[in-house]
Structure 1
Amino acid sequence: MAPHDRLTTAFPHNVQVDRPTPLLHVEDLNVSYGANRVVTDVGFSLGRGKSLALIGESGSGKSTIARTVLRLLPGATRVKGRVSFDGEDILGLSERRFRPLRGRAIGFVPQDPGNALNPVRTIGSQALEAAALADERDPRIARERILETFAQVGLDNPQRVYDSYPHQLSGGMLQRVLIGLAVLPRPLLLVADEPTSALDVTIQKRILDLLSRLQHDLDISLLLITHDLAIAAERADSIVVLKDGSVQEAGSTATVFAAPSSPYAKKLHADVPALNPHRYATLRDPGFRRLGDDGQAPKILVQNLTKTFEVDGNVLTAVNDVSFSVPSGTTHALVGESGSGKTTTIRLLLGLEQPECGEITVAGETITGRTHRSMQSAWRHLQLVYQNPFTSLDPTWTVERLVREPLDRFKIGTPAERAEWVRAALVDVGLGAHLVTRKPQALSGGQRQRVAIARSLVLRPDVIVLDEPTSALDVTVQADIVAVLLELQAKLGLTYVFVSHDLALVRQLAHTVSVMRHGRIVEHGTVSDIFENPREPYTVALLQSIPSGAASPVRARTVRPAVQPVFGQEQIA
């Protein structure tokens, strides 16, 4: 049995006396940043060895609550209420008295491992700091325990990980490192803040399985922060639904997930792609009808593409004999894990890279073999929406300038006509003209992505490439963006190439799918073909990784907590 299949006993388990008092108890919590109150009268309890999920969209207050528990809020923040950990009110403790709890008794797994680890220090040197929290003074023993813990969290070569710098490891490996460092001192409580939001669906499942296994085998309580109701239902015994800093609903997972009572919880349920695969069936129908038009030439034709790179003296084949076609007015999805070749394929499609062999045509125009200058005319009809709206827009420009820039570059229309086209593009994506003078920092994440889509639309292109356009967004905002994209496709006859690792979202949005692995297309077909009758084991594994809302096998072995009415809300015991 592999080390990560069953945890070994390098460290003793937390031995706890079975007491009725919860490990974590939050009562009448109010948090304000200056005059802005972000958490209002929140209360919940988390039992020993149990798991609780705080769910809600950005701005709901869930991360603020987590940072209150960890005492990591900015100094000027005003906090009222009571947060009891193991029977003691930690809000009343001085920093000197609380510091021994942070890391030792209360562990933390942050959202972004790329920002959580020091890029100029090895993993091992940073792990030794976590080992010091376990009061291990002998460097040799500490190193052995670190390597054992790395093996326990599923890192195949712990010594290589120990000696590596963060940039030498994948995102999934870095997240496992962070989990390993968090559990190294064997805390009583583990706070996991969106620990899988940036990961592929298969890696996400492995990380969540790992957290569930650690929680069960080490008797650790888990406070999980997420915006995805399906993940919460799979991984938590109890759920607290937050909106604008207030509790909308709380109770056992079975109750909240199966029959949400608050309007907001019902909306969250409706917005989860995995739970509502046919939500946009009517909007997609015109595209499915176009698939049956065999007499029409495809809008995009990719034939036998191969692209290699030289990495550290070795030749890496990033794209290997890839072929697919996309009929006009339809959406074709490229899916697969990181490193499967999706991004390189779309860079070839956009003319940003040139293949060693193969050919690409868009609307009958050949893309391959052209110079940067000669691609200018093609780019007018072939646009890209980037993955992250927080980094793809110039923060110093107004919305009007951001959307108008493509018109300026191509010298299209008069100034008055450009201004009118900008406003029309904003209307198309559901944004009002009052936003034209705002800068990106004055917009929400969903508004920023709508601006990015408007920017790609203003040239009236035939084809839009969507590179993970909703991965940085909450499910509620994601649902709004998907609706906008499909409405625009139905209205304007746009053709989309959609790159994603979220297969549930692909099922809602796409008409045809190519599954990529190691640079090759291993399976191709319509959405119904791929999702209902997958032939390749790799495709089956991807589909099985989609969160369904059913309890994970590890959590299914535990007893669900009782729910008691406290503080005017259903309180989780």
Structure 2
Amino acid sequence: MNSENTTPFKVATSNCPSGTEPVLRVDQLAISVNTENGLKPLVHELSFDLHRGETLAIAGESGSGKSLTSLAIMGLLPPPAVRVTGGSIHFGDQELTTLGENAFRQIRGNRIAMIFQEPMTSLNPVMKIGTQLAEAICAHEAISLKEARLRALEALRSVRLSEPEKRLNQFPHELSGGMRQRVMIAMAIALKPDILIADEPTTALDVTVQREVLDLLRDLQLEMGTALILITHDMGVVAEMADRVLVMKGGHFVEENHVESLFAKPQKVYTRNLLEAVPKLGDGSGEARMGRPDEDTLVAELENVVVHFDVRSGILGRVTHRVHAVENVSLNIRKGEIFSLVGESGCGKSTIAKAMVGLVDHSGRIRINGHDISPTYGAMSNQTRRDIQMVFQDPMASLDPRMRVGELVREPLVIHGVGTRQEQDQHVEYLFERVGLARDQIQRYPHEFSGGQRQRICIARALALNPKLIIADESVSALDVTVQAKVLDLLKELVSELGVSFLFISHDMAVVENISDRVGVMYLGQIVETGSRRQIFGSPRHSYTKRLLSAVPTPDPSRERQSLARLVGDVPSPVKPIAERVSYVELVDMGDGHLIALEDTMK
């Protein structure tokens, strides 16, 4: 701890000490929101203790009150709309619910720090990283700007950010998502707080970056004795990180227990359902789908597809660098098949999807249901547009909030002039029933549905024109595990009953294993391994595939956690100088369609 930061708390020698005074005590906390009809409770009489050096995970689905609880502890509830209406929050001998804003500023960031879910929205986009870190330090300590920058540099080194001196002078948009999250962690620990609150710190991160961030939090906690509140709906992360788990639902306390006991013998039905809905690697659920793909009918064929984006710089705006988003990718998707593309952010998965629907220029050949797609942006025939549809990650951003959902599902039929008004009405009713929604919901607006229901509406809209191929780009990553499981079951049913094919894009390896027929693994714009689900997950051959699988959090606290070799140096980038050539990997058939790239051909 800093010499300026004296603390009344005793340092514990165990993760969950007994007989020691808690560093934080929440007692009968109630949070409410002002409405036209008076106060509406959001969190109901929640109580828990947090000890020094302990990790308490608060788990539950969206709307359970997890983040509201953390904001109440930080004094960040938006008044007067949302406020604490009962109970207490004791930090040492201080009652936080009655603390004034000026007094809270001495604690917030200094004694209690928070890491938010989306680092890009938490960092000022027009300020350099070093300036933002120094500003946070100077707000709590009377030191010079030069000393603050040295402390900021030390914080960046502590989170193992490559080239920390360089990062100080960069803007947030110049860093990857994992790097930005490390900056947020550095900002949070720069003042060595007593409590660190991490609100969904890894939800938007790839599995390898997620593992590195979780390892980093664990190491820093051990070094500083900081108590950690981990807020998440990812039960794999809970199993790997937590000492104790508090489960919430709809603002209510459900149950609390040590992590091993909660996973082994959950006491409440909701907790059991939550754990059962978590996709697990190697549980064999991918075998449950009825029907097999039609080996003789190809709905999508990609041959040597290349997508580049030029980067201009200098006064004259000349092209100096090039983003090699997709390099020489070849694959095919059969009728009635779920083909998954996996890999980290920036590997080219979504760019391939955009090329397939004509949203970006490409070279090479793309055929959808026997029709060639022009390499020129936007040049697609109406028939090809009908044959391929997309389901995006964020359903709310995909639906016009001013239109009724029935009209949204009908819209593709109107655009393509399919059927009469009566026939369109009947087809919309059929689609709603097919995706598990009621006919009486057709006249509602998007905001009247839950996240899972909105994604079902997007799937119904994608099915409106009876497409041959649906591209699902991270279509379930934003959903809670129970909702996610229902949507995945729906996709399997659609494939089995309608014979539609899916290109399923995801970085969640457990989800991919449980839904896919075949899998392609991408790295820096190229496919490095492809094969059946059983080949990729049962006997991965490429080192990058093995790294992805080893990084997946396992929702089993009793299972010994494998160590993951940490990367050193700069993260490999697809951005190259214009004169630099990229070497294509060579894929070798290991038998039964299991292709892997030769490691020595990768640069």
TM-score, normalization by structure 1:
0.90
Aligned partner of 1:349 among 347, 352, 356: 356
- Change in Cα spacing, 1:534 to 1:276, as seen in structure 2 (3 Å) is closer
Indicate the residue corresponding to 1:157 in structure 2. 163
- Structure 2 distance, partners of 1:353, 1:78, is 49
Task: Letter of the 1:381 partner, please give it.
Answer: D
Indicate the residue corresponding to 2:305 in structure 1. 305
Q: Deviations over 1:503-544 (max 9, x none)?
A: 110001111000000111100000110011111111000001
- Structure 1 distance, partners of 2:423, 2:220, is 60
Indicate the residue corresponding to 2:447 in structure 1. 441
- Change in Cα spacing, 1:486 to 1:102, as seen in structure 2 (3 Å) is same
Is the counterpart of residue 319 in structure 1 residue 312 in structure 2?
no
Indicate the residue corresponding to 2:10 in structure 1. 17
- Change in Cα spacing, 1:551 to 1:157, as seen in structure 2 (3 Å) is farther
Contact 1:381–1:461 (CA<8 Å) still a contact in 2? Answer: yes
Contact 1:270–1:276 (CA<8 Å) still a contact in 2? Answer: no
- Change in Cα spacing, 1:14 to 1:500, as seen in structure 2 (3 Å) is farther
- Change in Cα spacing, 1:140 to 1:534, as seen in structure 2 (3 Å) is same
Is the counterpart of residue 510 in structure 1 residue 540 in structure 2?
no
- Structure 2 distance, partners of 1:308, 1:487, is 37
Equivalent position SS for 1:459: coil
Q: Deviations over 1:212-267 (max 9, x none)?
A: 11111111100000001121111010000101111111010011112212111111
Q: How far off is 1:279 after superposition?
A: 3.2
Contact 2:138–2:145 (CA<8 Å) still a contact in 1? Answer: no
Indicate the residue corresponding to 1:562 in structure 2. none
Indicate the residue corresponding to 2:528 in structure 1. 522
Aligned partner of 2:502 among 478, 496, 499: 496
Indicate the residue corresponding to 2:185 in structure 1. 179
Aligned partner of 1:205 among 208, 211, 233: 211
Contact 2:106–2:140 (CA<8 Å) still a contact in 1? Answer: no
Aligned partner of 1:85 among 65, 82, 91: 91
Is the counterpart of residue 38 in structure 1 residue 42 in structure 2?
yes
Equivalent position SS for 1:224: strand
Q: How far off is 1:371 after superposition?
A: 6.9
Indicate the residue corresponding to 1:563 in structure 2. none
Q: How far off is 1:402 after superposition?
A: 1.2
Query: What is the identity percentage for the equivalent residue pairs of Structure 1 and Structure 2?
Result: 38
Indicate the residue corresponding to 2:574 in structure 1. none
Is the counterpart of residue 415 in structure 1 residue 405 in structure 2?
no
- Change in Cα spacing, 1:10 to 1:187, as seen in structure 2 (3 Å) is closer
Q: How far off is 1:489 after superposition?
A: 1.3
- Structure 2 distance, partners of 1:156, 1:331, is 38
Is the counterpart of residue 338 in structure 1 residue 342 in structure 2?
no
Higher relative contact order by CA 8 Å / sep ≥ 6: 1 or 2?
1
Aligned partner of 1:273 among 275, 279, 291: 279
TM alignment of 1:161-560, pairs within 5 A = 161-274=167-280, 277-279=283-285, 281-283=287-289, 285-287=290-292, 290=293, 294=295, 296-312=296-312, 313-356=320-363, 358-369=364-375, 372=378, 374-550=380-556
- Please, what is the CA RMSD of the aligned residues? 2.3
- Change in Cα spacing, 1:374 to 1:336, as seen in structure 2 (3 Å) is closer
Q: How far off is 1:372 after superposition?
A: 3.2
Equivalent position SS for 2:291: helix
- Structure 2 distance, partners of 1:41, 1:267, is 23
Indicate the residue corresponding to 1:6 in structure 2. none
Q: Deviations over 1:371-395 (max 9, x none)?
A: 7354322011100001111211112
- Structure 2 distance, partners of 1:270, 1:468, is 22
Contact 1:307–1:319 (CA<8 Å) still a contact in 2? Answer: yes
Unaligned runs of 5+ in 1: 1-8, 557-573
Q: How far off is 1:97 after superposition?
A: 2.1
- Structure 2 distance, partners of 1:140, 1:96, is 26
Unaligned runs of 5+ in 2: 13-19, 313-319, 563-603
Contact 1:329–1:494 (CA<8 Å) still a contact in 2? Answer: yes
Q: How far off is 1:58 after superposition?
A: 0.6
TM-score, normalization by structure 2:
0.86
- Structure 1 distance, partners of 2:380, 2:532, is 34
- Structure 1 distance, partners of 2:4, 2:240, is 28
Q: How far off is 1:79 after superposition?
A: 2.2
How many correspondences in the alignment?
A: 542
Contact 2:263–2:557 (CA<8 Å) still a contact in 1? Answer: no
Is the counterpart of residue 72 in structure 1 residue 65 in structure 2?
no
